[in-house]
Amino acid sequence: MDLALVVLVQVLYAVASLVIVSAGLAVIFGMMKVINLAHGEFMMLGAYAVIGALELGVNLWIAIFIVAPIAVGLVGVVLERLVIRRLYGRMVDTMLATWGLSLLLVGIVTSLAGNTTAGVSAPLGSFSIGAYSVSGYTLVIIAVAVALALAIRFVLTRTQLGLIARGTMQKPDMANALGISPSRVYSVTFAVGAALSGLAGGLLAPLTGVVPTMGAAFVAKAFITVIGGGPAILAGLLGASTLFGAINQLATFVTTPVLGEVALLVAAIVMLRLLPQGITGRFFKGSL
């Protein structure tokens, strides 16, 4: 019974971390159709923003929830203005450009912060479930994922900003004719996506070693999740995260961590063979 509860917490955690890791990419790639290979590096920047803020004496929670997303959001604005805006509608070109950006960002951070692993301990200690103990920070990750999903839904459906963003992504010329500047909408949306990636990096900083090359560990999973999710941003993100996170974690429990990773990829391949458009290409059609 204790074990079942622990497994449940771990599965929720795996799903939640996929949601958090992929949310920024769901906006930039899912909505804006920019193949952002620098997604992992945006997360890395978020993690370094937390480390840097802590060195300046900022409270850990402020560093994670405020400093990291704002810092990476600003970087997003700059990169969008300098590079990405020239490439909208040219997906393959965005892939090359963002790949270059990822190398550049790794290089810059390495020369600034050095290549030794940095990090911060997970706060909140641990709590017990029967004979097992679970890190309190695990619950924070789960709670943030839920809050994030609710917030994305709220912004996209209930605010004018979300409506304009969705409309502009679908028909930029029509939006322009209605007096909306697509250029500005793109810029803001990209910044929001980058900020979400930064938040993800900040949230994961207490759980992983922070090195300039850490992004590589996350970018593939984020892409698998967003592609597996299909056209609907939020439903796809949640659906794919739940499917892949649960498969990964349960397979890891039953077999080994190596097979857990394999199971995730096999599940993704099988699913995309059956549902080439992703989960929301067939189910939850027309949802958000």
Partner 1 sequence: MDRRSFIQSSAAVLAGGTVPLFPMAAHAADEIVVGSIIDMSGGLDIYGKPMTDCMTLAVEEQNAAGGLLGKKIRLANYDPQSNMQLYAQFAQQSALKDKSTVVMGGITSASREVIRPVLTRNKTLYFYNTQYEGGVCDRNTFCTGVTPGQTVAKLVPYAMKKWGKKVYVVAADYNYGQITSQWVKKFVQENGGSVASIDFFPLDVTNFGPTISKIEQAKPDVIISALVGGAHISFYRQWAAAGLTKKIPLASTTFAGGNEHIVLSAAETDGFLISYNYFQNLDTPQNKAFKDRFYKRFGADYPNITELAMGTYQGFKLWAEGVKKAGSIEREKMIAALESGISIEGPSGKVSLDPETHHCVLNVSIAEVRNKQLNIVETFQQQPPVDTSAVCNLKKNPKDNQQYVIKV
> Residue 23 CB: number of other CB atoms within 10 A?
30
Query: Distance (Å, rounded) from C-alpha 141 to C-alpha 20?
Result: 8
Cβ pair 95, 37 in contact under 8 A:
yes
Any contact of residue 201 with partner 1 (CB under 8 A)?
no
Listed in sequence order, the DSSP H helices in the chain are: 2-25, 39-55, 60-62, 68-82, 91-113, 136-158, 160-170, 172-177, 182-204, 216-229, 233-254, 257-274, 279-282
Query: Distance (Å, rounded) from C-alpha 125 to C-alpha 131?
Result: 16
* Closest C-alpha to 53, from 38, 73, 67: 67
Task: Give 82 or 269: the residue with its C-beta nearer to partner 1.
Answer: 269
The region of 84-92, 147-155, 171-179, 209-217 touching partner 1 under the rule CB under 8 A is 209-217
> Residue 44 CB: number of other CB atoms within 10 A?
30
The region of 2-10, 42-50, 56-64, 69-77 touching partner 1 under the rule CB under 8 A is 2-10
Q: Half-sphere exposure of residue 96, counting CA atoms within 13 Å on the CB side? A: 5
The region of 172-180, 183-191, 199-207, 232-240 touching partner 1 under the rule CB under 8 A is 199-207
| One-letter amino acid of 159 | T
Instruction: State the minimum distance, in angstroms, from the CB of residue 72 to partner 1.
Output: 19
Instruction: State the minimum distance, in angstroms, from the CB of residue 261 to partner 1.
Output: 6
Any contact of residue 265 with partner 1 (CB under 8 A)?
no
Task: Give 190 or 223: the residue with its C-beta nearer to partner 1.
Answer: 223
Contact flags string 92-131 toward partner 1, x per CB under 8 A: ------------------x----xxxxx-xx--xx----x
Any contact of residue 224 with partner 1 (CB under 8 A)?
no
Number of residues this chain uses to bind partner 1 (CB under 8 A): 43
Any contact of residue 65 with partner 1 (CB under 8 A)?
no
**SS3 assignment, position 159:** coil
Task: Give 161 or 207: the residue with its C-beta nearer to partner 1.
Answer: 207
Residue 77 makes CB contacts below 8 A (sequence gap 6+) with 187, 190, 191, 194
Task: Give 79 or 205: the residue with its C-beta nearer to partner 1.
Answer: 205
- Find the binder of partner 1 among 98, 135, 225, 241 (CB under 8 A): 135
Cβ pair 234, 20 in contact under 8 A:
no
- Find the binder of partner 1 among 155, 207, 275, 288 (CB under 8 A): 207
- Find the binder of partner 1 among 257, 266, 270, 276 (CB under 8 A): 257
Task: Return the structure tokens found at 43.
Answer: 């997360």
The region of 156-164, 169-177, 200-208, 227-235 touching partner 1 under the rule CB under 8 A is 200-208
**Site for partner 1, rule CB under 8 A:** 3, 6-7, 10, 13-14, 17, 110, 115-119, 121-122, 125-126, 131-138, 204, 206-209, 211, 213-214, 216-217, 249, 252-253, 256-258, 260-261
